[in-house]
Chain A
Amino acid sequence: MAQAKQKGRMVQQTPPETAEKLEEKEYSILNLGPSHPATHGVFQNILKMDGEIIIDSEPTIGYIHRAFEKLAERRPYNQITPITDRLNYCSSPINNMGWHMTVEKLIEAKIPRRVEYMRIIIMELSRIADHLVCNSVIGVDAGALTGFVYVFEEREKIYEIFESICGARLTTNIGRIGGFERDFTDVTWAKIKKFMKEFPAILKEFEKLLVRNRIFMDRTIGAGSISADRALNYGFTGPNLRAAGVDYDVRVMNPYSGYEDFKFDIPIGTNGDTYDRFMVREHEIWESYSIIQQAIAKIEQMPGKEFKGDVPDFYLPPKEEVYNNMEALIYHFKIVMGETNIPKGEVYHCVEGGNGELGFYLVSDGGRTPYRLHFRRPCFIYYQAYPEMIRGNLLSDAIVTMSSMNVIAGELDA
C-alpha cells in the first residue's frame, strides 16, 4: 500500500522546471452553459482554460430532469409513450416505436409485416430528421448557417408527414402498442412520395456546401477525436461509435421490426473525430433513404390494408360493437377501467435511436403499470466522455465536438 502510494506520487510528480512554470501559470475558469446558445440544450460545463486551450472540464447535468422512471411506475403502458417522446425529441417516433416494441415483446404480440414496414418508414424518416438537425447544427457552430436553412425545410416536410399520421409534429406519440391508430391515408403516402422525390437534390446541395469545404474540414478534422477502444469502454453507441470505426448497429446486430429484410450499409469512420461523425451521419441519411424506398416498394406489393396486430388489450373496440357484442364490451370495460392483462416478466429491448442504442429495461409484476422501467439513454452514457474528448483542444473545437456528439438534453436527463 505504502509502495503504491509512493509510486502514485512519483508518477504525478513533474520535472522541477515545469512544475515551477505550472505554479506561475494562472488558469481561467469559463462557464459554458447552462443556457448558452452553442450548447443547444440546458447543461453546464465548467472549463478550466489555459488561454484558449481546455485543460479540464466538469460537466453538470440534470437541469431538465423530469423523473420519467418514477412517473412510469404510476402510468399505464399506453400512457408511457408520451414520456418517451421527450427523451430524444429530435427523433421521437423511434423512441415511441422502441417502447411499443418493448411492450409487444412482453405481451408476445404478433405484428403483421406490413405494420412493421410502416414503422420502418416512420423510424427512418425520423432518423433522417435527427441527423439533419445534428449535421446542419455542426455547420452552424462552425459558422456556416446556410446549410442549416436548406435542410430545415426538409425536416419540416418530414414533420408534416408525421402530422398527417398522428396529428403531432415534434413530440409525436405516434402509433400504438400493436400497430398504428389507422392506416396511412392517401395524403400521407403522397407526402412521403413527394418528400422522397425532392429530398436527394436538397441533401446533395447541402453536402456540396460542407463535405469538401476546406474551412469546414479544417475546423472539424481532428476535433474531439476518440479511439475505438475508449469509445467502447465509455459505452458509445450509434453514429459516434461508428465514427470511431466499430460497425455496431442494433438494426443489424439484433434486427427488430423486420430490418433483416432490408439491404443497407453501415458507414464507419476511422478517427472518431467531428468530421467522421458528420460523415457517418451523412451516409446514414442516404442509407435511411434507401431503406424507406425499399419499404415503400415492399408495402406496395403487399395485399391487404392491415395497420395493427391482434392486441385487443390496447385497442378500444368500435362503439357499435361494444353495444352489440359481448367480447367487445368486455374489452371496452377492461381498457377503460385500466384492467388490461399484462404478464409478469422482465424484458430488455433496444432499438437504434438517432444517437445509438436506445434500450428499455422493463420489469412487470403483472400490475397495470410497469414495476420498474429503465431507459438506456445513449446520450447520457456517452456524454461522460466529453471532458476526455475535448482535453487539450481549443474552445471552438469543444463547441463543434458537442454539436457533433448530438447531445440532446431531453435524453441526457430523462
Chain B
Amino acid sequence: MEDILPVIETKLREAFGEDIISAEMMRDFPVFTVKKDRIIDVVKFLYDEPEMQFRFLTDLCGIHFPDNKGQELGVIYHLHNMRRNWRIRLRIFFPLTDAVVPTLTTVFSAANWMERETYDFFGITFKGHPDLRRILNVDDLGGFPLLKEFPLEDPTRVDKDDKMFGR
C-alpha cells in the first residue's frame, strides 16, 4: 500500500495548521487527532477536496479514558475514500464535563444512528443532531453504560454473592 500519511497530513496541515494535533501511523491506519471544534470542518474538507474525497463514513464510536484528566472522552471516526481505497481514522478528545460535539449528520446521513448510539453509551451530546435519543438502551437507564465506572452487573442485586468465590 502506498504511503498515504504524508499526503493527507500535508493537505490537512495546509488547511488547518495547528488544529491538527497529531498525525501518526497505527498499524495500517493513518490516525489524526483533531481539535474538537474543528472536526466537522476537517471532515467536510476531506469530503470536498478533489484529491481527498473521503465520501464514506465507515464507523463512528466513542471511547472513555478515565485516567486522561481533561481528555477523558473521545469520538473516533473512520472515513473511507472508495475511489483510491484510502482509510483514515480521526480522533477527538475532550473532558467529561464538556461532552458536546458538533454533529456529523449534516454531511453523512449514516451518522444519525451512530451518534445516537454514542450518546446512548457515553453521554456525548451531539450539537445539532435532529433526533438525539437513546437507541439501544431503555430510556430510564439512568447512566451511560460504556463509561468505565459503570458496573457490568446490576449493583443492586443481592442474589449474587461474590464473598466466597470472587471472580
Other than A346-B31, A347-B29, A361-B61, give 6 A-B pairs with Cβ distance below 8 A: A235-B109, A347-B26, A372-B64, A381-B113, A384-B113, A413-B136
Interface size class on chain A is 35 or more
CB distance from B149 to the nearest CB of A (A): 12
> Which residues of A60-92 are within 8 A (CB) of B?
61-62, 65, 67, 69-71, 73-74
CB distance from A401 to the nearest CB of B (A): 17
How many residues of B are in contact with the other chain, CB < 8 A?
A: 35
The listed residue (A61, A65, A232, A376) touching B59 by CB distance below 8 A is: A376
Question: Is B52 interfacial (CB-CB < 8 Å)?
Answer: no
Which residues on the A side are within 8 Å of B152 (C-beta)?
70-71, 73-74
Complex contact B61–A345 (CB within 8 A): no
Report the bound CA distance from A235 to B56 in whole Å.
Answer: 7
Complex contact B82–A248 (CB within 8 A): yes
Query: For the complex, would chain A's binding face be called helix, strand, loop or mixed by DSSP majority?
Result: mixed
Complex contact B137–A235 (CB within 8 A): no
Complex contact B136–A65 (CB within 8 A): yes
Number of A-B contacts defined by CB within 8 Å: 88
Nearest residue (CB) in B for A254 is: B85
Complex contact A345–B27 (CB within 8 A): yes
Complex contact B137–A384 (CB within 8 A): no
Question: Is A359 interfacial (CB-CB < 8 Å)?
Answer: yes
Query: Which A residues have a C-beta under 8 Å from some C-beta of B?
Result: 61-62, 65, 67, 69-71, 73-74, 105, 230, 232-235, 246, 248, 253-254, 345-348, 350, 357, 359, 361, 363, 372, 374, 376, 380-381, 383-385, 413-414
Question: Is B102 interfacial (CB-CB < 8 Å)?
Answer: no
Nearest residue (CB) in A for B1 is: A254
Residue of A74, A246, A348, A380 with highest tally of chain B CB at under 10 A = A348
Complex contact A69–B121 (CB within 8 A): yes
CB distance from A190 to the nearest CB of B (A): 39
What 10 A-B pairs have minimum CB-CB distances, sorted nearest first? A235-B110, A62-B136, A374-B61, A65-B136, A376-B59, A384-B113, A233-B109, A234-B109, A234-B110, A346-B26
